[in-house]
Amino acid sequence: MLLEFKCSNHRSIKEEVTFSLIAGSDHTSEERLKEFGNSRVLRSAIIYGANGSGKSNFISALAFMCGLVSSSINYQPGQEIVQFPHKLCTAETPSEYKIQFVKNDVRYAYGFSVKRNLIEDEYLYYFPKGRQVKIFERSGMDVKPGDRYKGMLDISISILKGNRLFLSCAANYSNIKEIEEAFMFFAADIVVYNPEINNWTEYSIELMHKDDTIKKAFVDILQALGTGAKDVKVKLEKVNWTDISKELPLPDAVKSLIEPQDGNHIEAKVVYDQFEVDLMAEESAGVKRLFQMICPIIDILNNGKILICDELESSLHESVISQIVQLFQNYQKEKFAQLIFSTHDTSLLDTDLFRRDQVWFTQLNEERATDLYSLVEIRNVRKSENLEKGYISGKYGAIPMLNKRFFQELEAVILG
C-alpha cells in the first residue's frame, strides 16, 4: 500500500508537495480504512483542480519515479536521465522524489534526487518491527550499505553509473529480499493508467480467457449499467510466425528483416438478446473503454495493487467511476487495493463516497507553481457540507472546471 509521496522541481511543481493516504482524526466511514501499526490507511483519493494547475504533473511525478526504478538498469554510458524542472528553478536545483509504502506488511522509505540529468543522491530504509534500518544510502557514486548488508552489494556497486538508480542495480545483481521487495513495489504493484498510451484490450481478453470469474464479473457490470449485454465470448489462440508472416502485406525481402516471433489471435464478441457484436469492429466506444478498464481493475483489486489514473472520466462514464470507487472503498478481501485519480467531475464530490481527507486539490500560486493540499487543511468545512457546491463556489480554492451539472443548475435559475 502507498502511504505517502513527496516531490519537488517537477514540471509545474516547484517547492515540495506532500500527498498522504494516512487517515486523519475524522472517524467517518471508519470501516473503509485499514489499520497499519498506529495508523489508519485510506483506500482511495481524488484530486481536483483547473486545467493547468498541476494534477497531471503530480501523477506524472509518481509515474516518473516508478519508471526510472524499473528501467534505469538499462541506461547506457552517456545516456542522460530526462529531467522535468520547473521553469523558475536553476540547473543546480535537484528534482526530488520521496515515497513511503508497505510491502508484505513492512514499511519502506525510498527516495532519490536528480540534478543535471544524473542521480545526485538516493536512500532506502525499511522498518521491521517499527524500527528504522538502513539498507543503503548513496551520494553521487558513493554507496554506503547498512550494517546488515555490508559485503552483499559489491557487485551492484561495481555496475553503478551516474544515470542508474542503485535500487535498480541491486535488485538485479544481489539476492537481498528487502531490496527485491522494494523494487517489485514499483515494477508491479503501482499501475499508472494513461488512456492515451495504455490499451488493455488484449490484457482483458487474456484475463477472461484464463479466469471465468473475471468474465462473469465483467458481464455483471455491463448488465448493472443497463447495456443490455447478456454475455461475452472471448477467444485467444497462439499464432506462429509462419502464419503471421503470410498475412503481412510486405515483400519477402522486407519480411526477412523482421525478427520472427509468435503472437496471439484475439477475438471478443458481446452477446445481446438476438445478435452478437464484434467488440473491436462494431461495438460502441463506451463499451470498448469498459472492456479495456474493468478487467484490469478486477485484477488490481484481487491482487492488492495501486491504480493511479489521470482524468478517469475520459475513459469511463461518471456512473461507472462511482461504482469503481465503491469497489475500492468497500472491497473486503485480505488484499488491500488503492485508487488515486484526478477528475473534473464534481458529481463525485460526495461525502457518501469520500471522507474529507480523501479529497485533494491543486492550484497555481503567484509563481505559477503547483500547491497540493487536502480538504482537511481548509478550515470551517463541516462533515455534512455539500462538497460539490462548496467547490463550484470556489470555497476550497482550486478554481474548478465546471461540469454539465453546473450548467444545468445555472440554466434552471435563469429560466426560473
Could you report the per-residue pLDDT of 173-217, keeping only the tens digit for each? 999 999 999 999 999 999 998 766 666 888 888 888 888 888 888
- Are residue 299 and residue 220 in the same domain, yes or no? yes
CA atoms within 13 A on the CB side of 167: 29
In this structure, what CATH number is given to the domain that contains residue 36?
3.40.50
User: Is the CB of residue 202 less than 8 Å from the CB of residue 266?
Assistant: yes
Of 263, 280, 303, the position where a domain reaches its end is 303
Residues of the domain holding 289: 201-303
- Are residue 210 and residue 188 in the same domain, yes or no? no
- Tell me which DSSP letter residue 232 carries: E
* Other beta carbons less than 10 A from residue 148's beta carbon: 11
- Are residue 177 and residue 30 in the same domain, yes or no? yes
> Using one digit for the tens of pLDDT, what is the confidence trace for 139-161?
999 999 999 999 999 999 999 99
According to the model, what pLDDT value does residue 255 have? 47
- Are residue 251 and residue 315 in the same domain, yes or no? no
Of 303, 337, 368, the position where a domain reaches its end is 303
> Using one digit for the tens of pLDDT, what is the confidence trace for 272-295?
999 999 988 898 877 888 888 888
- Are residue 63 and residue 182 in the same domain, yes or no? yes
CB proximity list for 380: less than 8 A, separation 6 or greater: none
> Using one digit for the tens of pLDDT, what is the confidence trace for 210-237?
888 888 888 887 887 778 899 999 888 7
CA distance linking residue 133 with residue 128, whole number of Å: 8
- Are residue 208 and residue 147 in the same domain, yes or no? no
- Are residue 181 and residue 217 in the same domain, yes or no? no
Q: pTM for this structure?
A: 0.86
SS3 347: helix
Mean pLDDT of 226-252: 72
According to the model, what pLDDT value does residue 182 have? 98
> Using one digit for the tens of pLDDT, what is the confidence trace for 36-45?
999 999 999 9
- Are residue 242 and residue 335 in the same domain, yes or no? no
All three cell numbers of 410, joined, read 445555472
Going 320 to 321 to 324 to 325, the CA torsion angle's sign is negative
Helices 177-184 and 166-173: angle between axes, nearest 10 degrees: 120
Mean pLDDT of 300-312: 91
Burial code (b: 16+ CB inside 10 Å, e: under 16) for 2-30 equals bbebbbbbbbbbbeebebbbebbeeeebe
Of 47-51, 115-119, 190-194, 361-365, least confident by mean pLDDT is 190-194
Residue among 87, 175, 79 nearest 119 (CA): 79
Of 243, 270, 303, the position where a domain reaches its end is 303
- Are residue 103 and residue 190 in the same domain, yes or no? yes
